[in-house]
Amino acid sequence: MSRIGKLPIHVPAGVIITVKDNAVTVKGPKGELTQVVNPDISVVYEGDMIHLTRPTDDKLHRELHGLYRALINNMVVGVSDGYKKELELVGVGYRATNTGQLLELSLGYTHNIYLMLPNEVKVETKAERNKNPLIILESADKQLLGQICAKIRSFRMPEPYKGKGIKFVGEEIRRKSGKSATK
């Protein structure tokens, strides 16, 4: 058995699960998410637990078993608690502001970068004196949140010499020494 796939998913109070055909719909206080499951994997919802089973021990079935268990668990956690990511802009003159869902980034290029975020993601920017600007993103969809963080980070990846760029809060950047004297 898959170590991940065999674990049951605990459904907290206030979360409604609907399993119809091959689609699992999860509703909660933070939103609603739907995932289509491969027809080979069976999803059983009893009481406050969800169990996933696979028909055989084929390689494909083992892979799908753990995958769909993780995806459904992420949906349950997302609609009940939500996910939050914080990005930090490290560099002189780097700024971030938002007006609604439009994120404006000033990252040392000749022009500002504008990024329109989907409605499922809540964005907040903080700029305090003598601190690096922060971009705080919240969503119920873990996959979408990670994709947007990767897109924002790709505009100015952290570089290893000075550490400038967009990084996650608490992330350690491996630093290089650069040129050094030979003597």
Same domain (yes/no): 38, 110: no
Same domain (yes/no): 103, 63: no
Amino acid at 16: I
Q: Which domain holds residue 47?
A: 9-80
pLDDT value at residue 159:
92
Q: Residues near 42 by Cβ (< 8 Å), separated by ≥ 6?
A: 52, 53, 54, 55
For each successive 10 residues of the chain (183 residues), what is the average pLDDT? 83 93 93 94 92 93 94 96 96 94 95 96 94 96 96 95 93 86 57
Domain with 112 in it: what CATH number? Answer: 3.90.930.12
Cα–Cα distance measured from residue 58 to residue 131, given in angstroms and rounded to the nearest whole number: 53
pLDDT value at residue 179:
83
pLDDT value at residue 1:
45
pLDDT value at residue 183:
57
Please choose, from the candidates 16, 10, 58, 12, the residue with its C-alpha nearest in 3D space to the C-alpha of residue 38: 58
pLDDT value at residue 47:
87
User: Which pairing describes strands 49-53 and 83-90: parallel, antiparallel, or unpaired?
Assistant: unpaired
pLDDT value at residue 33:
95
pTM: 0.89
